């Protein structure tokens, strides 16, 4: 027991005794051992990006506020989470597992270190785990809570543009900033 505790502390996994991993084709969460946790971080000696990629709408005030908070949380782990603003003109879906702008606008998409795409609530769970909020991701995926989270997020995603005052500027398929005519 004492040796297990020492291994646990030495490994730096002091947040939670277990992590949760999610598969893209399953709504279920699976527990993995602490030795594989550390937010599923894989380190390589190459310059290749191996972190979690969060695709977000940089023109959505609610989304930007959350991304700023997540950036703050990961400030001591540079390179762990890469925030990709899909609203920028240079967004390239081919670099992001063929997640198109339209797909990313419909619901949250996160690409994990294994290059698996997660959508909706599982995307949030992966994202939160990557910035040190694994407990929140686990809570969102917990079977008694998950149906409520799915329905709540679906309502938000469906109405996000209208609620943030962007319905008209996004009517043409791609959101364009309104310009004031004089």
Smallest CA-to-CA distance from 40 within 80, 70, 68, 73 is with 80
- Between 164 and 155, the higher pLDDT residue: 155
Per-residue pLDDT tens over the stretch 10-52: 333 333 333 344 443 444 444 333 333 333 333 332 234 568 9
Instruction: Report the Cα–Cα distance between both ends of the chain, in Å, rounded.
Output: 74
**pLDDT higher than threshold 80 for residue 179:** no
Parallel/antiparallel/unpaired status of strands 117-119 and 109-111 = antiparallel
* List of domains in the chain: 49-167 (3.40.30)
Give the mean pLDDT of 79-105.
94
Cα–Cα distance, 60 to 156 (Å, whole number): 12
Per-residue pLDDT tens over the stretch 94-122: 999 999 999 999 999 999 999 999 999 99
Smallest CA-to-CA distance from 132 within 32, 6, 40 is with 40
Residues 6+ positions from 153 with CB-CB distance below 8 Å:
107, 108, 120, 121, 124
Per-residue pLDDT tens over the stretch 65-78: 999 999 999 888 77
Cα–Cα distance, 153 to 18 (Å, whole number): 26
């Amino acid at each position: 027991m004492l040796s297990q505790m020492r291994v646990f502390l030495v490994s730096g996994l002091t947040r939670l005794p277990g992590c949760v991993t999610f598969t893209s084709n399953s709504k279920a969460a699976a527990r993995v051992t602490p030795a594989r946790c550390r937010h599923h971080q894989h380190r390589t000696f190459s310059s290749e990006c191996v972190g979690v990629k969060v695709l977000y709408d940089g023109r959505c005030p609610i989304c930007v506020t959350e991304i700023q908070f997540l950036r703050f949380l990961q400030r001591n782990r540079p390179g762990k989470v890469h925030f990709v603003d899909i609203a920028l003109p240079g967004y390239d879906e081919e670099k992001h597992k063929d997640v198109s702008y339209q797909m990313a606008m419909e619901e949250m998409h996160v690409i994990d270190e294994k290059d698996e795409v997660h959508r909706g609530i599982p995307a949030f769970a992966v994202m939160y785990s990557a910035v040190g909020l694994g407990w929140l991701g686990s809570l969102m995926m917990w079977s008694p809570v998950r149906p409520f989270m799915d329905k709540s997020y679906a309502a938000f995603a469906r109405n996000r543009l209208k609620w943030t005052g962007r319905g008209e500027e996004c009517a043409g398929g791609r959101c364009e900033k309104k310009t004031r005519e004089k």
